[in-house]
Amino acid sequence: MKRFFGACVAALLATAVPAAAQSFDWKSQNGQTINLMFNNHPWSQAMRDLVKDFQAKTGITARVEIFNEEQYRARLQTLMQGKSADMDVFMSLTSREGAIFNRAGWYADLAPMIKNASQTAPDFNYEDFGASIRAASTFGQQVVAIPINQEGPLFYWRKDLFEKCKVAEPKFLEELATAAAALKKCDANQGVWAARGIRSITPYALAGFVYNSGGSFMTPDGKPGMEQPNTMKGLELYATMLRDYGPPGALNHTFTQITELLGQGRVAMTHESSNEFANITRFPNRANDLGVKVLPPGKDSGVSKPVAIGWTVAISANSKRQQAAWLFLQWATSREVQTKLVNNGVAPPRASVFQGEEFNAWTKEMPIRKAWADALIELGKTGTGVYQTNTDRVPEARDIIGGAMQAIYQGKSPAEAAKTADAELAKLQ
């Protein structure tokens, strides 16, 4: 009997120890210091202010560095190629570079951490992120990053200027040029249009013009398809809008210049990221006089196919503090933090936030917020994260596609520009 009782106690202890070990504790890495490197983005700007809450919750010191995108990518490459352990957490656009980074072994695998009850908060709920967003950061069984937002380019237009000049709101893609001409005729001193012109980042905004025109970057059998008639139609419309109605130096413009131009009232229309919504509406009057929606569909094609992507945060495979870094990822992508980030114009990738009372109350405060939220829902339903040809060398492919647009802007025929681009794109397959 005594032996039996002892065996029972031993069995109870055997089950009790793992249960205690499995309990999650936000303070488990108290005293650690982690280094976070971010691209300049509304999310990272907000995070710089909020990170003190993470430090108070975990006892972990978090050092934040933010760089403009070109500098950010150069520094990230230097650190990762040198297998530096100095950086623990970084932002990644997995729809762009995920395959290459994963093949290079730059990402820590988050899947085992997500499954480990002692490492992951009980209310983290990874399934709360949309399936398509999760898929963009999953390679085989490996989860390489957690989404921090959802975004895509949207059509912004000045309702007051359209009304003053008696110009109708464009309902179809082909009406953009008509509206631009009418606005220019109404007031020659008013800027009309602005959009991205730097070749590597142009496809993000250009893709809607191509898709809505009925085009595609690939042929049905997966080869480069820039020479397809409807693809060239979209390319030409984007280039001529920029050349005939855009500001001086448009080929050197990225989202920062475009946001300033629209915010300051110097242009009447643009097709720019949903992420810039908060920055644009901070300017006087823009929250009241702007309209925002997904780029109008093609009149002939009937197609509306916007770009929809999301930035993520990842843990470096070289980090020596991956447990502390994982706590940061959980906190930064939690429902609580994402609800706060809405005020900074960061669209939440968690369904529970998008459908929550706080988000609904925020959108009801201003009509333009409701319009922005409706546009994001449409992005989620109809958008695509693919806006290049079939290759893992995504940045190079997008650079070539943007180069074709620039060539048309500078006077080359769409057929010549597309033929050159297809030949270069074929080398990447």
Q: What dihedral do alpha carbons 421, 422, 425, 426 form, nearest 10°?
A: -150
**Model's pTM, two decimal places?**
0.81
Confidence (pLDDT) at 359? 87
Sorted by where each begins, the domain ranges of the chain are 33-150+309-365, 153-308+369-426
Q: Which fold has domain 153-308+369-426?
A: D-Maltodextrin-Binding Protein; domain 2 (3.40.190)
Question: β-strand 142-143 against 153-158: which pairing, if any?
Answer: unpaired
pLDDT in tens, 380-412: 788 888 899 988 888 899 999 999 999 999 999
Check if the beta carbon of residue 366 is closer than 8 Å to that of residue 360: no
**pLDDT band per the 50, 70, 90 thresholds, residue 246:** very high
**pLDDT band per the 50, 70, 90 thresholds, residue 1:** very low
Q: In CATH, which superfamily holds the domain spanning 33-150+309-365?
A: Periplasmic binding protein-like II (3.40.190.10)
Residue partners of 25: CB distance under 8 A and separation at least 6: none
Check if the beta carbon of residue 305 is closer than 8 Å to that of residue 231: no
Confidence (pLDDT) at 22? 66
pLDDT in tens, 357-366: 888 888 999 9
Distance (Å) of CA 90 to CA 44, 238, 396: 11, 33, 22
User: What mean pLDDT is predicted for residues 293-317?
Assistant: 95
Residue partners of 393: CB distance under 8 A and separation at least 6: 100, 428
* DSSP code for 405: H
The larger pLDDT score, comparing residue 28 to residue 7, is at 28
Q: Is the pLDDT of residue 99 over 60?
A: yes
Does 33-150+309-365 match 153-308+369-426 in CATH topology?
yes
